[in-house]
Amino acid sequence: MGINAVEQYLRELKLTTAADDLGEVIHSSGDNINLEWITSLLEREVDARKERKLMSRIKRSKIPEVKSLEQFNWKFNPSINRSRIEDVADLKFVRDNGIVLFLGQPGTGKSHLASAIGLKAVYSGMTVYWTSLKRLSEDIIKAKAKNELSILFKKILSSNLWILDDWGVVSLSREVSEEVFDLLDRRQYSTAMILTSNRDIGEWPEVFVDPVLASAAIDRIFDRASVTIFSGKSYRAAGTKKEDVLNREEVIR
């Protein structure tokens, strides 16, 4: 541990004058000065700040449940394409503002994997914003009433990854549809997206009152999207059959 490590920590902590003058100060105090204690002190400060930033990114992401890829039992619904999900989890699509769609049967793990990937993104330094379509609709109505729609939009569009869970469960009013369309249109320049839905694509236009808006929005959702289909049994309902219990126990063990 030497002067370089101390200088690097000082720069990381944005103590630029201290970093610039370090060499000179050490020289004037006699070059044999022991730097070990100051290195570990600064290291603690850097680590503590990183931890605080991470905690604040986790909180701001509003990811509802802590789930991980390791908790996912791939044997339970073997038709789920593991290697595609692992590709998504390498987060390259986030850097490209890409779209990932997790579509299919209820209870098959779409939200689980979306939160696991969202958390992985947060841990790797990215910002994530999670919302269900229902909550988004409520948030838009509330924000409009308070004249704060641009704040809500900024939260979503300034994050690296927007997770839009449960697409298709609610029908949006015309006012809200237009705002959701605007978000879907603008996000391509700034924000990657994971969208989950258990609704048949044929039912998606029902989310919007206006069919023209519906088809323009659906077009944007499928724009160069990577689609993973989730088929199989609901993990929620599992437990009644012996083989399901055994499959679940593998995860718990």
Rounded Cα gap, residues 168 and 149, in angstroms: 22
Site for ligand ATP contains 170 (CB under 6 A):
no
**How many residues at the interface with Mg ion, by CB under 5 A?**
1
E strands within 95-225?
99-104, 128-132, 161-165, 192-197
Rounded Cα gap, residues 253 and 232, in angstroms: 23
- Find which of ligand ATP, Mg ion, none residue 109 binds, CB within 5 to 8 Å per kind: ligand ATP
Rounded Cα gap, residues 211 and 199, in angstroms: 17
- Find which of Mg ion, ligand ATP, none residue 228 binds, CB within 5 to 8 Å per kind: none
Tokens of 41: 């002190």
Q: Considering only residues 106, 135, 201, 244, which one is a binding residue for ligand ATP as defined by CB under 6 A?
A: 106
Site for ligand ATP contains 111 (CB under 6 A):
yes
Site for ligand ATP contains 67 (CB under 6 A):
yes
Site for Mg ion contains 132 (CB under 5 A):
no
Sheet containing strand 99-104, strands side by side: 128-132, 161-165, 192-197, 99-104, 226-230
- Find which of Mg ion, ligand ATP, none residue 9 binds, CB within 5 to 8 Å per kind: none
Residue among 76 and 93 whose Cβ is closer to ligand ATP: 76
Site for ligand ATP contains 76 (CB under 6 A):
yes
CA 203 to chain centre: 26
Site for ligand ATP contains 236 (CB under 6 A):
yes
Site for ligand ATP contains 198 (CB under 6 A):
yes
Site for ligand ATP contains 109 (CB under 6 A):
yes
Site for Mg ion contains 160 (CB under 5 A):
no
Task: Give me the least distance between CB of 153 and ligand ATP, in Å please.
Answer: 25
Go through 113-134 and write b for each residue having 16 or more CB atoms within 10 A of its CB, e for each that does not: bbbbbbbbbbeeebbbbbbbbe
- Considering only CA atoms, give the Rg of the chain: 24
DSSP-assigned states of every residue in 110-126: HHHHHHHHHHHHHHTT-
Site for ligand ATP contains 253 (CB under 6 A):
no
Nearest to residue 100, comparing CAs of 169, 190, 165, 158? 165
Q: Binding pattern to Mg ion, positions 101-120, x when CB under 5 A? A: ----------x---------
* Residues found near ligand ATP in the complex (CB under 6 A): 67, 71-73, 76-77, 106-112, 166, 196, 198, 230, 235-236, 251
* Residues found near Mg ion in the complex (CB under 5 A): 111
